Chain A
Amino acid sequence: MFKVFGALCIIGGCGYGGFRIGREYRLRVETLRGLQNGLNLLETEISYSSTPLPLALYRIGEKLSHGSALLFLHAARLLLSKEVVNAGKAWEDGIKVLQQHVRMSKEEINILSVFGQSLGNSAKQEQLKNIELTREQLSIIEKQALEARLKYERMWQYLGFCLGAVIVLILL
């Protein structure tokens, strides 16, 4: 009886681990999509309604889904509370917060931080150009992330359960 219970625990635990790893691939794709949406909205805020940056970031953060909203909301909070007066620095801090919640590659962080450096310290046209460039780069990375997800999400789910089963068999 105890043996069966232990075996179920091990298989369940390993399977759950596999699911967690598989879920990270999905989360990454969702975050990248969210970031692109956010940049789209930022473009509108800058070009159409000329909203001040802190307020624009806050509005965008409220519209986005959980993962990517963290970056915008954190940067907006820092700027609104005047803890940080430099938009680039606030963006950088936002990236750090995002990094704690979603696993991101160095490439993505690099793209985002390069974008942050020019945020809020150039003319409207320059910023719009910059947003366009960043969005293109993010969309390329999103395609890669999607491919990786299709390939590896299912694999990790299977591997988790199989690993649990092997451990049970060896211990039995």
Chain B
Amino acid sequence: MNIELIFQIAGIGILTSIFHTVLKQAGKEEYSFIATLAGVSIALIMVVQLLADLLNKVKSVFFLS
């Protein structure tokens, strides 16, 4: 488990919130929503492989696969 990934995702979270605030202040609510969505999906793409590994491990622990 590399700790770097956690920091990376935390950074993306912080920057996404900045995006959201700046865009909302400029009166572009719809874009701020899209920016947040993009941030969430980027973080999800980073994590999805690890989630798959986790599920596989759970399966192997209980002899399901």
Instruction: Decide yes or no whether A143 CB sits under 8 A from chain B.
Output: no
A170 to B18, CA, bound (A): 16
Query: Which of the 9-residue segments A27-35, A83-91, A159-167 touches chain B?
Result: A159-167
Instruction: Decide yes or no whether A9 CB sits under 8 A from chain B.
Output: no
Residue contact B15 to A162, C-beta cutoff 8 Å: yes
Encoded as 1 (CB less than 8 Å from any B CB) or 0, chain A from 129 to 156 comes to 0000000000000000000000110110
Query: Which of the 9-residue segments B21-29, B48-56, B57-65 touches chain A?
Result: B21-29
Instruction: Decide yes or no whether A169 CB sits under 8 A from chain B.
Output: yes
> Which residue of chain A is the closest to B21 with respect to CB atoms?
A158
A152 to B12, CA, bound (A): 23
Interface size on B, residues (CB 8 A): 15
Residues of A within 8 A of B44 (CB): none
Q: Mostly helix, strand, loop or mixed at chain B's interface? A: helix
Select which of B15, B26, B27, B28 is within 8 A of A165 by beta carbon. Answer: B15
A159 to B35, CA, bound (A): 11
Residue contact A152 to B26, C-beta cutoff 8 Å: yes
Q: Mostly helix, strand, loop or mixed at chain A's interface? A: helix
Encoded as 1 (CB less than 8 Å from any A CB) or 0, chain B from 4 to 22 comes to 1000100110011011001
Residues of A within 8 A of B47 (CB): none
Select which of A151, A154, A158 is within 8 A of B18 by beta carbon. Answer: A158
A2 to B22, CA, bound (A): 31
Residues of B within 8 A of A152 (CB): 26
Chain A contact residues, CB within 8 Å of chain B: 151-152, 154-155, 158-159, 162, 165-166, 169-170, 172
What 16 additional pairs, Cβ within 8 angstroms, besides A159-B19, A166-B15, A169-B15? Answer: A151-B26, A151-B27, A155-B22, A155-B25, A155-B28, A159-B23, A162-B15, A162-B19, A162-B22, A165-B11, A166-B16, A166-B42, A169-B8, A169-B11, A170-B8, A170-B12
